[in-house]
Amino acid sequence: MAAAAGRGRERAGPHLTESDHRGSGTLGSRDGFPRDAQQDGKNRPPHDISLFLMAYNEEHIIEFAVLECLKTLCRIARNNEVIIVDDGSSDRTRAISLELAQAHEHVRLIAHEKNLGVGCAQKTGYYNSKYDLITYVPGDYQVRMDAIEAMLPHIDDCDIVVGRRVNRQDYQARVRAAEFYNLTLRTMFGLKVRDIDSIKIIRKRVLDDIKIESSSANVDVELMVRAHRRGYRIKEVDVPHYASVGGQQTGVSPRVMQRQLRELIPFWLKNVK
């Protein structure tokens, strides 16, 4: 079960400006990645964006991450919301997130009463988002808003944009396991995407059409396989990746990947002829 908190119905009127969050600081982007959204936005196509953060014990980074997301969204989106999905944190992540939801009309909190895992957190974020474009960043902020800015121009001619993490700032065992895992998935399902479980920008109509059954860490795999089979247009874009400054990484460890691959066998037998 999940508890939701916020400031009620979205109010009409002007959206947040950067000055509303001065003092939150700025995380820089690496050279070579587009930052067009920092320029004059007169010619930028309007987008309505829902962004969610999946957080588990991220008390020391969650406020900064949310405020950075808000600042960027107010520049690149016509309408926007930030949803914090707290996956049963045992630290102050939920309390801080509640304060943010009460202080900012564009922020909502959805809290799992216990830790359900990254797959359930993703589904909570996906199916509680209201705008046409849906995306997310991890609560530990290893992928940041400069990635969303690099990906956003490409959604105009496709249905899903995947951010391929380049120069991954993880320990080598995790990087090698991720490479093997993605190679295995491409072989099993005929996917061309090289970083299947990375961040995405997805059109809401895709999620409305594809009802994800999995609640494990294989949510991304099921989404990509079903989208590929139904002919949705998918594009992959290189994005920067940063060292973790957050809490507990539970996603793509070698042990978790091994379990994911075992769980995928029934799905593969059902969907590959």
Where do the domains of the chain lie, and which CATH numbers do they carry?
46-271 (3.90.550.10)
Per-residue pLDDT for 26 more than 70? no
What mean pLDDT do residues 204-214 have? 92
pLDDT bucket at 10, cuts 50 / 70 / 90 = very low
* Better pLDDT: 187 or 236: 236
Task: Give DSSP secondary structure letters for 200-232.
Answer: EEEEHHHHHH------STTHHHHHHHHHHHTT-
Question: Which stretch, 35-44, 74-83, 157-166, 167-176, has highest mean pLDDT?
Answer: 74-83
CA distance 63 to 60: 8
pLDDT-wise least confident of 38-42, 84-88, 136-140, 259-263: 38-42
pLDDT bucket at 110, cuts 50 / 70 / 90 = very high
- CA of residue 83 relative to chain centroid, distance: 10
pLDDT-wise least confident of 54-58, 204-208, 235-239, 260-264: 260-264
CA distance 89 to 72: 26
Task: Extract the tokens encoding 39.
Answer: 């320029």
> Which of 152, 147, 151, 124 lies closest to 137, judged by CA?
147
